[in-house]
Chains A and B, each alone.
Chain A
Amino acid sequence: MKINDVILRTVVKGVVFIILTLGVYLFFSGHNAPGGGFIGGLVLGSGIVLLYITYDLETVHKKMPFDFKKVAAFGVLLATGSAIGSLYFDAPFLSQTDAYFNIPILGEKHLTTVTIFEAGVALTVIGTLVTIILSISEDE
């Protein structure tokens, strides 16, 4: 049965961009303002789930050919890897560092290694969220 979901599709087309942008914004703003890897990942993940609910699996998968199990695994690898990485700089496990850099065009920017860690968290959250919801909904 095909339900008539023109309204949903039209709305989602616009809204998904706002949600995904919000997710990215939340991820980067986390350092000094509310946001962060977990919440950013959660918002991005729910945006992707919304896409899956609105369009069918194949359509979304064609545009976003990710295996979300691997996304989650990569996230875990990134988080733990960034933790181990500090050992190579003679710093204790999980040490984070930050510095100010002058990047052309963008101006002075605050770069931190915790961003890598948070990216790992975000990817794990996205991957796990989408994997769980997809596998439940695919279940016959």
Chain B
Amino acid sequence: MTLDFAIIILPFFMAALMLIFYRRLKKKYIGWIVLTIPISLFILLTTYIPRIVNGETITHTYEWIPSFDLNFTTYIDGLSLIFGLLITGVGSLVILYSNFYLSMKESLHHFYLYLLLFMGAMLGLVFSDHLMVLYAFWELTSVSSFLLIAFWHHRKASRAGARKSMTITVSGGIAMLIGFLMLYQISGTFSIREIIANINVISEQSLFVPALILVLFGAFTKSAQFPFHIWLPDAMEAPTPVSAYLHSATMVKAGIYLVARFTPIFGGELVWFWAVTGVGLITLFWGSFNAVRQVDLKAILAFSTVSQLGLIMSLLGLGSIAIYLGSTKESIIYTQASFAALFHLINHSTFKGALFMMVGIVDHEIGTRDIRRLGGLMSFLPFTFTIALIGCFSMAGLPPFNGFLSKEMFFTAVLTITELNISSIQSIAWFIPIIAWIASVFTFVYCLIIVSKTFFGKIKPDILEKNPHEPPFGMLVPPFILIGLVVVIFFFPNLLGNNILKPAMLSIFPAYSSAEEIAPHVSAWHGFNTELQLTIGVVIVGIILFITVKYWKRIYRIFPQQWTFNAIYERVITFSENTSETVTKRYMNGDLTYYFIYIYMLFIAIVAGVFLYTGAFEWDPSKDAAIESYELLLVFIMIFASVAIIFVKGRISMVLLNGVLGYSVAFLFVIFRAPDLALTQLVVESVTTALFLLCFKYLPDLTPENDSKRSIMSKGFVSILVGATVSIIGLAVINYDKFKSISTYFEDSYHLAGGKNIVNTILGDFRAFDTMLEVVVLFIAGLGVYTLIKLKAKREDADSEN
């Protein structure tokens, strides 16, 4: 086992260990022990940087099911390393922060278990080359996100938010799975690198564009792109560290990762350019536009995350045009957009992580996140105010913070695209910078809202009573590390650019020979150009809009309430719930007789249907052995007993008649020299009879059924058909010759399995798999009976759901 495999396994391993040992640990140590995992992984991953910078990629394959082409292939290149560092780096800070944020009363082991699960899944996602393994990890991140959002599951909103995120991201995931299968169909391989290597052949297939759209579905739902963004604001019900980690820094960027990873595959299609850029831009605008009207700090940040994800997405779309243009020297200028995407990805994680932690502090110390109740906290929480100020200014794109650099690069990218000489793009490309600029204005406005409504103005008296004060030192450390990075990255952007971003560029644009030529040099000052003028415009218009916000806020009321995406989602969910309930209630009516009828009808339809369809029934009595009179006698006894069961009145006589039937069958087995079967039948029959007698104590007296004649007739008809089917099969198998008989194989049982009893060698050796699973089923059935009876009493307890 090599190191890169260990990186993925370690969080899962720790999660398992914690599950076993958490009771022995003091609660306050759990978080600190968990903290060692992301920190050591982060340090481990930094040791990969020199090798990755030299252009190496590290890959290992572990064969899992080679016959199905399923392998664990770890693949570490520049792109996955960025994500790996983000996951472990932000993960360390978030866990450190949670140690102070969560009270000791919470079930901490659950929290850290889910967090570790998520971390492992996310690392597995970015380091996997195999599509199916990637998909499995992808869904695992959705599941762990679901668990974390519903961490406070006593709240209704938490559960609803968790379900919403699960529904949306998993449906996207399934679409993506179909896309992956299509890719496998046309390329014959599950390996992303092999698909990229054969891209020329693959892109000509007819399934290529459907696969592209389906994969994008997965990426868009995960990264909360318009119109799937509605799950992200609801996911803010999660504890704030989770929001900082999953819903701003890592999980929602899985979609970004997927788009970046698949750019070399799909980038050559113009559809890709339009879909990714278009959806990204709409999301960018819609997110920032909606963030302005929110009153909950976390909701503002949620919409802001949506908008920033849209920004990164659109940049990746803009960058992909370089591949469409054939990866030539002339198109290098467009790759700069992808560089900006990666750059902003890191910047966003730093400032948004810090901002979420800031909101967590406010919520933790003041007890509310509603900006209508907050205000004037600057003098009480000066450190927190610093975090908010730097974070927001970076997000708004002001110097001297890293957000300024990536925002300038974003403006450069949208301006460059207007100069593109492709007719279909040129006609509407002028629209792109305008949307980008308007969205930036709104971004600036909500950044001002966050800072001013929380920290400026007069403090409300009810908050003053709570004596607001700074949080414990440990809660300030993680956000300060992040805003430290915000400033450092501004002054030394090329340190990041050369060591981390440059190798990743080659993962997105493998057609270029070296990373040197496609990675731009980042500089804070490049003259008084259009980009800078745009930024100044953003600041001026932004301030005007912020001051006049109460005058133009009514435009939000233009949108009809019943047509918001949330309302549509609710309607779809309610509709499908109601429909499935009515449909299910129609056939699941609680009457056992009906269930038996369903089972038998299905049995007749399938079994008898197949026999009729294939014409397998062939009755040839000439080969049969002669029927002896005692056999006939036995059969008549059985017929008599089974018919009599229908007409007797008492339960005891029914059981006895049933016993007659069972023992006669056992007797038949004896006659036909099947001692094993006879023995088993005898014992089973005895035990069943005893069981029946036991149960009778609890059953009411038999009452004659008042069925209509028609229903009796139909039940009788079904019964007769079932009997006929079984008899026909019994008679037909003797003459069945469509397949070769396998029984000769078993006759050599003594040599093959070392036993002379064929029945038992079949059970214990030849078909032991069946026996093993039957044993498991038997055990589960036993447990089922036990729990049904033992837990019955608790049914009257109050419904624990609220």
CB within 8 Å of B: which residues of A? 26, 30-39, 42-43, 45-46, 49, 53, 69, 72-73, 75-76, 79-80, 83, 94, 96-98, 110, 112, 114, 117-118, 120-121, 124-125, 127-129, 131-133, 135-139
Contact = CB atoms under 8 A, between A and B. Distances in A.
Interface stretch (B1-9, B271-279, B751-759): B751-759
B663 to A, nearest CB: 15
Contact of A117 (B676, B757, B768, B782): B768
A34 to B, nearest CB: 4
B691 A127 contact: no
B786 A39 contact: no
Given A26-B679, A39-B679, A49-B687, A124 B698 contact: no
Contacts of A112: 754-755
A49 B684 CA distance: 13
A114 B782 contact: no
Contacts of B675: 34
Interface stretch (B117-125, B397-405, B769-777): B769-777
Given A34-B679, A49-B690, A117-B768, A75 B757 contact: no
B775 A135 contact: no
Contacts of B771: 79, 117, 121
Nearest to B676: A34
B766 to A, nearest CB: 10
A35 B760 contact: yes
A39 B772 contact: no
A8 B755 CA distance: 40
Interface residues of B, number: 39
A132 B785 contact: yes
A126 to B, nearest CB: 11
A76 B776 contact: yes
Given A33-B757, A36-B676, A94-B768, A124 B785 contact: no
B755 A31 contact: yes
B796 to A, nearest CB: 14
Specify the main secondary structure of chain B where it touches its partner: helix
B785 A36 contact: no
Nearest to A23: B683
Contacts of A128: 778-779, 781-782
B782 A132 contact: yes
A35 B757 CA distance: 9
Question: For A42, A73, A138, which residue has the most chain B Cβ atoms within 10 angstroms?
Answer: A42
Contact of A136 (B760, B783, B785): B785
Interface in B650-694: 675-676, 679-680, 683-684, 686-687, 690-691, 694
B363 interface: no
Contacts, number: 137
B693 to A, nearest CB: 10
List the 9 closest A-B pairs by CB distance, nearest first.
Answer: A128-B782, A98-B754, A32-B756, A34-B675, A114-B764, A36-B760, A42-B683, A31-B755, A135-B789
Contacts of B757: 30-36
A131 B786 contact: yes
Question: For B676, B756, B759, B792, which residue has the most chain A Cβ atoms within 10 angstroms?
Answer: B676
Contacts of A39: 676, 679-680, 683
Nearest to A123: B775
A33 B789 contact: no
Contacts of A121: 771, 775
Contacts of B759: 34, 36
Contacts of A35: 676, 679, 757, 760
Interface string B385-411: 000000000000000000000000000
Contacts of B365: none
Question: For A45, A49, A53, A114, which residue has the most chain B Cβ atoms within 10 angstroms?
Answer: A114
Question: For A30, A31, A38, which residue has the most chain B Cβ atoms within 10 angstroms?
Answer: A38
B694 A76 contact: no
Contact of B776 (A49, A80, A139): A80
Question: For B695, B755, B756, which residue has the most chain A Cβ atoms within 10 angstroms?
Answer: B755
15 contacts: A34-B676, A34-B759, A36-B759, A38-B680, A39-B679, A46-B686, A49-B687, A72-B782, A75-B775, A79-B771, A114-B765, A131-B783, A133-B694, A135-B786, A136-B695
